[in-house]
Chains A and B, each alone.
Chain A
């Protein structure tokens, strides 16, 4: 076999650097990367097709599970599109609660990214420290919404849970602690020599390239493009909150780190404003089951960039088409550009720098048969099947069902 100049190494789909399955075929000459091609689709579960077979409320449950880190972004984006079609005007308090949970999610997502970036360049202590601080935000999210991830706080026409004053107090305390932790990380990032060495000059993406390749979110803002959906196309309660759009001119991974930490500081001030300004009143509005004919495009500033949902309704209770375009899909084009003539050691940090979330990117789903005959699986038959499945394994739910039914009927 003629020893070709370039060694081709596959990175992924299972690779310690990548939290998720995507595969890059990298051709290497010595330590330099000469070409990189990306293969996605490992996470493709087909959520868009499944959305067409479920009602809007069931879709909400499914859309939230597109991505584990930005679940609130997807569910808010979807709900805003549906409310726009149905012409529902949600109460002001619900808009504020949605913005609050959105900012809390941005904090936990950026802290998570900081830890993963530290791990990618071998700085495990940073991973341990940032993830210890992240637990503070996770506890706040768990106490206010009931679950650490996949909060399920959105419903069509408003929010399902309210924030009581005692929780406000907890949130303010947590934000105080996290603020001086983030100040410590900012001073660390600007003074730690090995960190700066490993991050600066890596994954260069000039402003023109970023525009041409359609980069979004912190990746674009680190190349000097001041574009933030919260400012340009305000939704929820962002219209009456003031905050700065953080941009940076480093155009490399170091710039993205600074942009993300700047956004953390902005999130803290936004949350403080929300807690002060949150108006009273109801948190939800009655919404019809059948959404009238129409279509809507809704955009949301997810922690990774601009997340876009397109929903088309045909008057029934099921959407006609749901299109989800996740921020990672826009940033993935820029990765092969950033990888050109970089070192192999830079590959994990460059991929981590766009903070990829591939479970957002592949999401179409279709329902299929499990017992082989030709009709589609209805929800009811699925439930009966699961009861039967557990009965075969000696766990009989029918008595349990009877008891529950009796209690309901007596009440």
Chain B
């Protein structure tokens, strides 16, 4: 029982993720600043922001639904943290794994987006309502291609559990290349899920102030920002596990270091894309997702089905 609590609360669980989230946020902001030819914040910036927000006063808008607003960040946080337990970090076996845990992880990762919608809708300010509606419309655009290309690689590995997929791809290193297209699509959809620049329409600063988080302040905002960081880390580690299965049977510590390198490289790619593009309009984003990403993801599924028949087990 003690080991489970240790797993949930300390190692791959809350403590590790918070620290990893802060480091990831620092890495993301510093790299983006360097790309924009600026010096960027000092290393302790995320921690200072977090503590300062905790020390601030608490204001609730009159019409807003207080209970819902208070619980929203907790829902999103819990969903992200439980998702990490199914992703192999230390060694090739995740802590809990059963056949079908990839579906559970994917659904756990959509809970934060729904939480942001509820948070925006229930804070009753005009800007946050529009931001909330935009979060949902964007969800339908990037969700289908993301699910399709992750499940395509699961199809090839002929299992629905992440750990078995990792061991399968480690043994057949050659198959990794056929998932490359899926990996590219997943990265682009990730930008939509994490609301990074080309698709950060829900919290477009210059249009609707801060989207669905206009009314969040103080402690709630601290929790929310922590959830953003953890969501970034968890989704990046999901992609690392599914699409970059290296580290055959080394010692688990070495696999852990390989895992860190993979996650930081994915975050670097996201930051690079973030500082390259302008923000798209909602209709352009949906058109882009359905015209290009969804057919490409569908093609990826077809390729994997055909390959599954041809390639030796």
Contact = CB atoms under 8 A, between A and B. Distances in A.
Answer whether A and B touch in the complex at a CB cut-off of 8 Å: yes
Interface of A: 7, 9, 15-17, 28, 31, 118-126, 128-129, 132, 192, 194-195, 197-198, 343-348
B283 A132 contact: no
B212 to A, nearest CB: 15
Q: Is the interface of B mostly helix, strand, loop or mixed?
A: loop
A67 B204 CA distance: 28
A124 B208 contact: no
B171 interface: no
Contact of A344 (B129, B130, B197): B130
Given A124-B197, A344-B207, A345-B207, 9 more contacts: A7-B129, A9-B126, A16-B205, A31-B282, A122-B205, A128-B37, A192-B278, A198-B284, A345-B281
8 contacts: A7-B129, A122-B279, A124-B197, A126-B278, A197-B284, A344-B208, A345-B204, A345-B279
Interface string B36-49: 11100000000000
A132 B36 CA distance: 10
A16 B276 CA distance: 22
A121 B284 CA distance: 13
Contact of B198 (A124, A194, A344, A347): A194
Given A125-B35, A198-B278, A15 B209 contact: yes
Contacts, number: 78
Contacts of A119: 206
B215 interface: no
A129 B280 contact: no
3 closest residue pairs by CB, A with B:
A122-B279, A123-B278, A17-B206
A125 B209 CA distance: 19
Contacts of A194: 198, 277-280
Contact of B281 (A16, A118, A198): A198
Contacts of A16: 205-206, 209
B117 interface: no
Contacts of A31: 282-283
B130 A195 contact: no
A125 B283 contact: no
A122 B282 contact: no
A121 B279 contact: yes
A128 B282 contact: no
A192 B280 CA distance: 12
B278 A121 contact: yes
A124 B127 contact: no
A96 B9 CA distance: 73
B206 to A, nearest CB: 4
Contact of A17 (B38, B198, B207, B279): B207
